Amino acid sequence: MNIEQNKKNAIAFYKMAYEGNPTKAVALYVGEKYIQHNPMVGDGPQAFIDYFDRMQKEFPIKTIEFVRAISERDLVALHTYQEWPDNDNYVTMDFFRFDKNGKIIEHWDSIQQVPKEALNNNTMYK
């Protein structure tokens, strides 16, 4: 298992799906099964594709910045900053589990909206 390649593949997978091509992302990076832990997305590759296709139709203009990528054994963690329409911004932590062939087979995430005001001057992602 190549943990550095898994890190690159997790970023490429997420970026490709986020920017509007989840079908290609699944074809290139997902294994035989895909277990989803986000309660807003169904299990399996097709549910993932359907979710990101809908997001692209509803929100075609959005950006993502990959702030950190950490890999260990069969897991990759991605820390992102996302800008959505109407200054609706989010910080996410996504965790991907890879199979022995370097394909993504499981996903967990935690999403937090960036508040308009904070009690400190630190960002939530840098």
Whole-prediction pTM value?
A: 0.93
Express each pLDDT in 35-76 by its tens digit: 999 999 999 999 999 999 999 999 999 999 999 999 999 999
61: amino acid identity, one letter: I
Task: State pLDDT tens for residues 100-126.
Answer: 999 999 999 999 999 989 999 998 888
pLDDT of 73-86, one tens digit each? 999 999 999 999 98
